[in-house]
Amino acid sequence: MHIAEYMSANGHEQFAVWTDPAVGLKAFIAIHDTTLGPALGGTRIWPHKTEEDAILDVLRLAKAMTYKSAAAGLPLGGGKGLIIADPRKDKTEALFRSYGRFVNTLGGRYIATEDVGATARDVEWMSYETRHLVGLPRELGGSGNPAVVTGFGLHQAMRACARAVWGSDSLAGKRVAMQGFGNVANSLSEHLLKAGAKLVVTDISEEARRRARAMAGVEVVESPDDIFDVECDVFAPCALGGVLNERTIPRLKCPIVCGGANNQLAEAVDAERLQQRNILYAPDYIVNAGGVINVYYELGRPYNAEAAMATAARIHDTMERVIAMSKQRGITTAHAADLLAEERLSAARRVRVVR
Ligand code: NAD
């Protein structure tokens, strides 16, 4: 693979590599764009089969963070870290401290936080070597569980979708089908139940389904794959990526898709497939920005929870702007979200030139 060529074609600024054989560490950090601020993004721990897969993954994820923070109106750029390791057996304090030293060499251009395969404990280990990170536990001055703000932001986005489809923000009496009943879905469900919505949930974990069964106002779908066929007002993917695809989109029986999972569309063309079925798709990175908003308010600790909630509340207006843009320009909401982010980035680039 021609890394520099790929980076240049996709607007990437920097790609850094770190190895430390003494602790078994091979890691990459991709800094996609720092126009708006330092590149913030999680560090994933994953045993990729080839280095090429790992490099492409971290570059793609870094770019996605640029768009997420830009559209959320944060003064942050996009970056991502990757440790090539098995999160179930390779994690040690020495490994994360070495990785923390790697983060430190970038002098704050990259700000790390947890991602798939990492925990708050791992971030704490990194923090012994660098202050350029967020996502510490609340007891250490950090922002703790991001799902609280993510779920709140999702509820705001869903209200904006409801207004576009039914003329009112109210979700009272609406039926929301949730795929996955983990951290984000739990937080979202609290807001929805309070708003008078009815929930239909599923999860591949029996423990999660048991928890859902015990809740009033919640119906449980016992075979996870059946969730796509549920008649509902909103389908909320809150588990994995790639769930909206050629096979599942024809099955959906809802006018709105709005959920917390990252990378919900299997392919770009799936945004068009949804539009052709007259389903309003709430772009994932617009509506799940509560997570990055939450950690942003941890920079310069202590964490400011009130500011995080106030900023996440703006996801409602951002979603309305995306819907308006998609209608005005005759494009999908996914395309409108990208344009919103790109327009903010290019406006900021002009300010930089003037300065
Ligand atoms: P989580 O691990 O707490 O919950 C995910 C749940 O989905 C688990 O209970 C799992 O058993 C279930 N699941 C997995 N595959 C499934 C399937 N095929 N069908 C049904 N259920 C399935 O994770 P989370 O923190 O709630 O995150 C959920 C999604 O939201 C992820 O895609 C994550 O990247 C994204 N996200 C999370 C945050 C956050 O603040 N935690 C922020 C932004 C985006």
* 163, 190: one domain: yes
Question: Considering only CA atoms, which residue is closest to atom 30 of ligand 1?
Answer: 261
Mean pLDDT, contiguous 10-residue spans, the chain (355 residues)? 95 98 98 98 95 95 97 98 96 98 98 92 95 93 93 98 98 98 96 98 97 96 98 97 97 98 96 98 98 95 93 98 98 98 94 67
Q: pTM of the prediction?
A: 0.95
Q: Is residue 299 one of the residues assigned to a domain?
A: no
What range does the domain containing 154 cover?
A: 147-289+316-341
Question: Considering only CA atoms, which residue is closest to atom 39 of ligand 1?
Answer: 147
Cα 127 to the chain's mean position, in Å?
23
Name, in order, each residue with C-beta under 8 angstroms of 132's C-beta and a sequence gap of 6 or more: 38, 103, 104, 106, 107, 108, 110, 111, 112
pLDDT of residue 301: 75
Q: Is residue 140 one of the residues assigned to a domain?
A: no
Q: Is the CB of 203 under 6 A from ligand 1?
A: yes
pLDDT of residue 4: 97
pLDDT of residue 300: 81
Q: Is the CB of 184 under 6 A from ligand 1?
A: yes
pLDDT of residue 291: 97
* 252, 222: one domain: yes
Which of 133, 163, 179 terminates a domain? The answer is 133
Q: Is the CB of 295 under 6 A from ligand 1?
A: no
Q: Give the ligand 1 atom nearest the CA of 288.
A: 43
Name, in order, each residue with C-beta under 8 angstroms of 324's C-beta and a sequence gap of 6 or more: none
Q: Is residue 201 one of the residues assigned to a domain?
A: yes
Q: Is the CB of 34 under 6 A from ligand 1?
A: no
Show which residues are catalytic. 80
Ligand 1 pocket test, pick from 67, 240, 263 with the greatest ligand atom count within 8 Å of Cβ, gives 240
Q: Is the CB of 204 under 6 A from ligand 1?
A: yes
Q: For position 264, which CATH number holds?
A: 3.40.50.720
Please answer whether residues 125 and 100 qualify as being in contact, where contact means their C-beta atoms are separated by less than 8 angstroms: yes
Ligand 1 centre distance from Cα of residue 156 (Å): 19
Q: How far apart are CA 173 and CA 315, in angstroms?
A: 23
pLDDT of residue 354: 64
Ligand 1 centre distance from Cα of residue 19 (Å): 31
